């Protein structure tokens, strides 16, 4: 891991270049004004064909209790991911990172999967960055049980439908490991990244405004097709 405050102003173009060579930015805290580059020796990824979904989680997905939206309110999603909570008192998303990802969103590279409750509004979601056939998952949050997991399942479903090859999670947590995330060596990750960036996939292969049912999402995650 390299921890160096860049001696220049980071632009969205520089950020895209960093991702293309296996690096991503972080901050020590949401209050920190600086960022550093990270290229970990062990990288977390989600093998798109090996997601683990428990019986109870599958039941929650299939119930379609919440509305799933794509890129409906990217800014609210990244702000929620940056919020301190009882479970996560500190986050690495500072103002500079939020600004950069908002710019990338307006440029068409960064996307969000959002979970809405009719009464309580945004209750979960995630955001990340797409390049080629790679999706770099950045952060996720939940304000209701299973909301972030359901967002992740819908993301994986869309990625499988569109032919993505790599879902980067950066690091592994027990939460992600239970869903099937694994760690691979840096060199292996860079090889996979190079192949994925050399391929083409459309994040909106499944159209943004076309509803995806929970049953459809589960079928895509488990079988890769409808």
Q: For residue 24, what pLDDT is reported?
A: 95
> No. of H helices and E strands in the chain?
8, 9
Can you tell me the distance from the alpha carbon of 105 to that of 75, in angstroms, rounded to the nearest whole number? 9
Residue 156 located in a structural domain: yes
Q: Which residues contact 157 (CB under 8 A, 6 or more apart)?
A: 206, 212, 216, 217, 218, 220, 221
Domain that holds residue 125: 12-223
Sheet holding 166-170, edge to edge: 67-70, 110-117, 121-131, 134-142, 166-170, 42-45, 182-185
CA angle 26, 31, 37 (to 5 degrees): 15
Q: For residue 2, what pLDDT is reported?
A: 47
Per the structure, the count of domains in the chain is 1
Residue 1 located in a structural domain: no
Residue 83 located in a structural domain: yes
Q: For residue 226, what pLDDT is reported?
A: 58
Residue 206 located in a structural domain: yes
Can you tell me the distance from the alpha carbon of 144 to that of 122, in angstroms, rounded to the nearest whole number? 9
- The CATH number covering residue 92 comes to 3.40.630.70
Can you tell me the distance from the alpha carbon of 144 to that of 134, in angstroms, rounded to the nearest whole number? 28
Mean pLDDT by groups of 10 residues along the chain of 226 residues: 56 96 91 90 95 96 97 97 80 91 97 97 98 97 96 98 97 93 98 98 94 96 76
Q: For residue 4, what pLDDT is reported?
A: 45
Residue 109 located in a structural domain: yes
Q: For residue 199, what pLDDT is reported?
A: 98
Q: For residue 8, what pLDDT is reported?
A: 58
Task: Give the other-Cβ count within 10 Å of 103's Cβ.
Answer: 15
Q: Does the reported pTM lie above 0.85? A: yes
Residue 50 located in a structural domain: yes
């Amino acid at each position: 891991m390299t921890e160096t405050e860049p001696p220049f102003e980071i632009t969205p173009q520089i950020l895209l270049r960093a991702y293309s060579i296996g690096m991503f930015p972080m901050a020590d805290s949401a209050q920190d004004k600086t960022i550093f580059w990270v290229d970990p020796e062990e990288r977390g990824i989600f093998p798109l064909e090996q997601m683990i979904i428990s019986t109870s989680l599958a039941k929650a997905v299939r119930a379609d209790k919440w509305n799933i939206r794509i890129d409906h309110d990217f800014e609210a999603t990244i702000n929620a991911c940056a919020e301190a909570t009882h479970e996560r008192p500190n986050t690495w998303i500072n103002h500079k990172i939020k600004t950069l990802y908002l710019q990338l969103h307006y440029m068409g590279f960064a996307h969000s999967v959002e979970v809405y409750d009719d009464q309580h509004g945004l209750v979960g979601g995630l955001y990340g960055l797409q390049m080629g056939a790679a999706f770099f998952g950045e952060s996720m949050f939940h304000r209701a049980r299973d909301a972030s997991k359901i967002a992740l399942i819908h993301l994986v479903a869309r990625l499988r439908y569109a032919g993505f090859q790599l879902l980067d999670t950066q690091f592994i947590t027990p939460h992600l490991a239970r869903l099937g995330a694994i760690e691979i060596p840096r060199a292996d990750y860079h090889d996979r990244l190079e192949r994925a960036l050399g391929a083409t996939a459309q994040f909106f292969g499944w159209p943004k405004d076309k509803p995806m049912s929970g049953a459809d999402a589960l079928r895509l995650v488990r079988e890769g097709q409808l």
